[in-house]
Structure formats: structure tokens, C-alpha cells
Chains A and B, each alone.
Chain A
Amino acid sequence: MTAKVVTVTSGKGGVGKTTTTANLGVALARLGKRVVLLDADIGLRNLDIVLGLENRIVYDLVDIVEGRAKVRQAMIKHKSLPELYLVPAAQTRDKTAVSPQDMVQLCNQIRPEFDFILIDCPAGIERGFRNAVAPADEVLIVTNPEVSAVRDADRIIGLLEAERKGPGRLILNRVKAEMIRRGEMLSPDDVTDILGIKIIGIVPEDDFVVPSSNSGVPVTLNEESRAGRAFHNIARRLMGEKVPFLPLEEKLGFFARLGRLFGGGGA
């Protein structure tokens, strides 16, 4: 067994890469997988905050690369999930402190002991992006249903093709079903049409997300959260399961939705 390396990227900042990485890590760990989360956003580390692990950091990614710490020393174990670890980014250095080869080497070193290594990629298309993508077996592209975010995702898909890491799978985050119904928001179909790649998840806009990063408890741990359930399903799809997509409409009951789906009515 050797870990699959999955890089979470986007081009544009603020679309939900860190939220996605944290939640997929938690979901995979809850599904019994051994998981390492690697924060590649050097200088702007955040994954530790979202996971509630910021006060446990001793060593970081750059300490490993520069030989001041062994990988195991820098790994922080999650409070409630013993099979989930974080390797934090350095906060006081910049992206040039790490090279793509360093990332490949580091991943190869930990691959044998884990099932998944998830890498949180920084925004942009420069060094930090190349660092995060270099060791990837699979790339997840996070975007929002907005023109600028989809445009940046397209750019990233082009770069991934050029690096022979493409095409990757898409996560559409912050989707509002109500706005789509009114025709005021790009639908998942619109976005996959335009980008021409497969979609692995649709995550609704969810008021639980901000409080969850306030408290350092990812939404996947909250049974009430629809975003949390969406991340859980993405984790299962990453494991190769076929999981039907969540209907995003809250008001419709289950049978009404089934009717709509299979009855083929003009709804």
C-alpha cells in the first residue's frame, strides 16, 4: 500500500481550498483512512487554524526540507482523529524555501505509511503552485460559480495539462440552489460545460462553515451541515465509491425530489 497524493488547487484565492483540504482530510480519516495534510501555502498558513491545531506547531515544512526536523517530528496529530496528521507550512518564509523536488521527496518518504496525502495549494500559478502539484497523483480544482473564479480554474486546467497532471476533477463550492433556480448563478452544468472536466463534488454555501473555522472544528464533523455532507461524499468518491450527488434544495422533501429526478416532469 502506498498513499495517493491529492493536491487541492484553484488559481484564485479565497474560493475554498483550505476549507476543502481540511474537510476532506477529516472525512477520509473518519472513513478509516490514514491521512496526512500538507500545507503548501508557505507564508500564509491557515490549515492549522481550520483544523484547530495552531497551538501545537513546533516544526514546519521548511524545517523538514532544510533538515532541522524529521518528518515525524513535524507531523501534528489531530485531537480526535488519531489517523489524521498535519504538516504545517512555515509562516515566516516564502515559497522559494521549498522546491518541487523537495515536495516529491517528502511525499515519497511518507507514502508507505499512509493512504492519502492531501496538499493545500496556495493561490496563484507560480512557484507555490508548482511545488504543490509536483508530487500529485490527482488534482482537485476548487472553484466558485462566478466568472472570475471559473476563468482562473480554466487557466489552472491548462497548466495542469502542460505539466501532465491534468485534467483533474472539479469541486464547485459555495453553490446557492435558490440563485441557480432564478437563473442568477452559473449552474454545475454550465461550469462543467465550459471547463470540460469531470466534477467530483458540489458544495453548497453554508452558514456553518465560518463558525466551524472560528472554532477549529471542520464542518464535516457537524451532522447538520450540508457542506459537511457534501465533503463527506467527495471523500467517498475519492476512495473510488460511486456516490449520487446531493440535491441542494432544502425545501423539497425526499420523495418530491425523486419524483422530479425520475418522473422527468418539466420542473
Chain B
Amino acid sequence: MANWWDRLFGRGGDADGTGKQAKSRLQFVLLHDRLAIAPEKMEAMKAEILDVIKKYIQVDTEHLDIALQRRENASLLVAEVPYLNARMETPDSDIETIGGDAAREERQKNDA
């Protein structure tokens, strides 16, 4: 269904005109319109959410995505947080150090 219109219009998948710019500018502007908060605040919120998550699991910050989406009947704040080391053993008593830089380096060494 996704490309139905495009096929009807005969548009090549790689058309690279101002239409694409229009779409990405809209996506940017609506992100903030929908939440009605300033871009700086949005960034601050993302950073804080990330800090909390990082306390408990190792996160791939490169591919992290926190954004607003609209579905049929609701507006959602959707966080896609790819994490590293799915099977990491977490001693309950020692969450802080697990999230620490030393522990991360250690683990990455093991993975390699």
C-alpha cells in the first residue's frame, strides 16, 4: 500500500526535488508544534531520558531515536533505544558500576 500513490503518479523512487525538502522540513516543524515545547527543552528531555536508561542498560546512542508520532487516534512520544549486550548479567547490588565507562570498555573488549 505504501507506494500505491507513487506508482499511480509514475514517480521514480529516487526523485530528489524540493518535495523531499518539504517533507523533512514539515517533519521537523511538526515535531515541535505537536508537543508545544521549545526545541531546547525537547533536547533536554531526550538527554534526561537517555541518562535514566543508561543507568540500567547499555545503549547504542548512535541509533537512538526519540520522536513524536501520530497514529490513528493518538499522539505518541516514541523512543527507539537500541541496546548493546542483550544477555548482560546484572548483579542487582551494583547497577551504578555496570553503567559506568570502565565496565562498558571491559565488555566491548570481551565482545571483540
Contact = CB atoms under 8 A, between A and B. Distances in A.
Contacts of B34: 154, 158
A146 B19 CA distance: 9
Contacts of A252: 10
Interface residues on B, range: 20 to 34
A183 B21 CA distance: 10
Interface stretch (B51-59, B68-76, B81-89, B101-109): B68-76
B92 interface: no
Given A147-B26, A190-B19, A167 B72 contact: yes
A182 B17 contact: yes
Contact of A261 (B7, B30, B33): B7
A147 B11 contact: no
Contacts of B3: 189
B8 A183 contact: no
Nearest to B20: A183
Interface residues of A, number: 40
Nearest to A180: B9
Tell me if B's interface is mostly helix, strand, loop or mixed.
helix
Interface stretch (A54-62, A113-121, A132-140, A242-250): A242-250
A261 to B, nearest CB: 6
A177 B10 CA distance: 9
Nearest to B15: A183
Contacts of B72: 167, 196-197
A197 B72 CA distance: 6
Nearest to B4: A189
Interface in A33-73: none
Contact of A194 (B16, B23, B71): B23
Contacts of B70: 157, 195-197
A260 interface: yes
Interface in B23-55: 23, 25-27, 29-30, 33-34
A93 interface: no
A72 B16 CA distance: 55
B26 A183 contact: no
A177 B9 contact: yes
List 4 tightest A-B contacts by C-beta distance, closest first.
A183-B15, A183-B17, A196-B70, A184-B17
Given A181-B11, A183-B19, 15 more contacts: A151-B29, A154-B33, A181-B10, A182-B17, A183-B11, A183-B17, A185-B19, A196-B72, A197-B72, A249-B9, A252-B10, A260-B8, A261-B8, A267-B7, A267-B10
Interface of B: 2-11, 15-20, 22-23, 25-27, 29-30, 33-34, 69-73, 75
